[in-house]
Amino acid sequence: MKFFIDTANLDQIREAQDLGVLDGVTTNPSLMAKEGITGHENIINHYKAICEIVDGDVSAEVISTDYEGMVKEGEALAKLHKQIVVKVPMIKDGIKAIKYFSDKGIKTNCTLVFSAGQALLAAKAGATYVSPFIGRLDDISTDGLGLIQEIRLIYDNYGFETQILAASIRHTMHIMDCAKIGADVMTGPLKAIDGLMNHPLTDIGLAQFLADFKKGN
């Protein structure tokens, strides 16, 4: 299972990279705005800075909603760095753009996916990643993890190579549940990744080992 961090915060990206388990980064316009990154040039420079920190794929989202605009924007983003994955929304022109990028060998991440039908279409168009937003579904009392299960089943039925990128991860149990279902990738906040480390018995056990070591030395 690949681990992506879902943030535009460079300190958090560095921290996750330093842990040695980071496979990539996802960003979106809201995450950029949260860090105060606005304006075309600043956004472009921020993508470049992220690519310098991590070794893996970095999703950069197009803002256009028409086919021509997405193609132009996506091609420019892809030229920024070999790690850039063009993030395209799940709309009709987005599907056409994903097909175009796929034929050109440009990696894509189909974002804002909320149904198995959308995920099927994204795979047919040749998306590299499909991003079902599980947290936002849970927020409206719909089963986000159930969607991951449905997509896994459909992709396995036909051997689609599109990777399921479980997105809108809110907490550590989301990561664990996605791992059990077989999501290829998860993207979440640093806090959710850090949560995987914690267990009170680890802390108690370590304190005991250190105390016993001190007794004998």
Please identify every residue annotated as catalytic.
87
CB of 43: closest distance to ligand E4P in angstroms?
15
What is each CA distance from 169 to 38, 123, 141, 152, in whole angstroms?
25, 21, 15, 17
Distance CA 192, CA 175 (A): 8
Contact 109, 128 (CB under 8 A): yes
Q: Report the residue number, 61 or 150, with the smaller CB distance to ligand E4P.
A: 61
CB of 168: closest distance to ligand E4P in angstroms?
3
Residues near ligand E4P, by CB under 6 A: 6, 26, 28, 111, 131, 133, 135-136, 167-168, 187
Q: Report the residue number, 108 or 168, with the smaller CB distance to ligand E4P.
A: 168
Contact 109, 89 (CB under 8 A): no
Q: At a CB cut-off of 8 Å and minimum separation 6, what does 77 contact?
A: 47, 60, 62, 84, 86
Q: Report the residue number, 141 or 217, with the smaller CB distance to ligand E4P.
A: 141
CB of 19: closest distance to ligand E4P in angstroms?
19
